[in-house]
Amino acid sequence: MKSLIFLLPVALAACVEHELDVSAEAGGALFQQNCAACHGVDARGAGVTGRELFNLPPDLTTLAADNNGVFPRDYVMGVIDGFDRGDHFSAAMPEFGAGDMGPTVIVERDGLGTPVPARLLALTEWLETVQE
């Protein structure tokens, strides 16, 4: 029984570490699974489903260019989550924060830690890599 108790934290750590992948690569896989149908595999807004919508989804590769060359990380996370959306957003864009976005990681800024869903952070990391 002692060996089982000793192995349990190791097994849990391995599971948590795997689930909390916030890399751009993990975000790219999430984008392909959840966003590419509308925004296109290249994030330019011409996905198979997106072309059928009344308004085409936006080109997500120009977010930084549209923001004076700075990637608007907090805004992007707020839009994906559903927290920061204006009236101009299409109802076709799901509010991913309304569902289970999975485990969180602590993101520290200016000495303050904020819990952010790991998948949301990974997706945002990937979107930042595709900026033109």
What pLDDT digit, counting tens, does each position of 56-111 carry? 999 999 999 999 999 999 999 999 988 877 777 777 888 888 778 889 999 998 99
Average pLDDT over residues 18-36: 91
**pLDDT tens track for 58-68:** 999 999 999 99
Picking from 114, 75, 119, 113, the residue whose alpha carbon sits closest to that of residue 97 is 119
CA distance 47 to 21: 26
CB 26 within 8 A of CB 117: no
Joined together, the tokens standing for residue 87 give 């009236």
CA distance 67 to 69: 6
Domain layout of the chain by residue ranges: 22-129
Q: What is the CATH number of domain 22-129?
A: 1.10.760
Q: Would you say residue 36 has pLDDT above 80?
A: yes
The residue type at 81: D
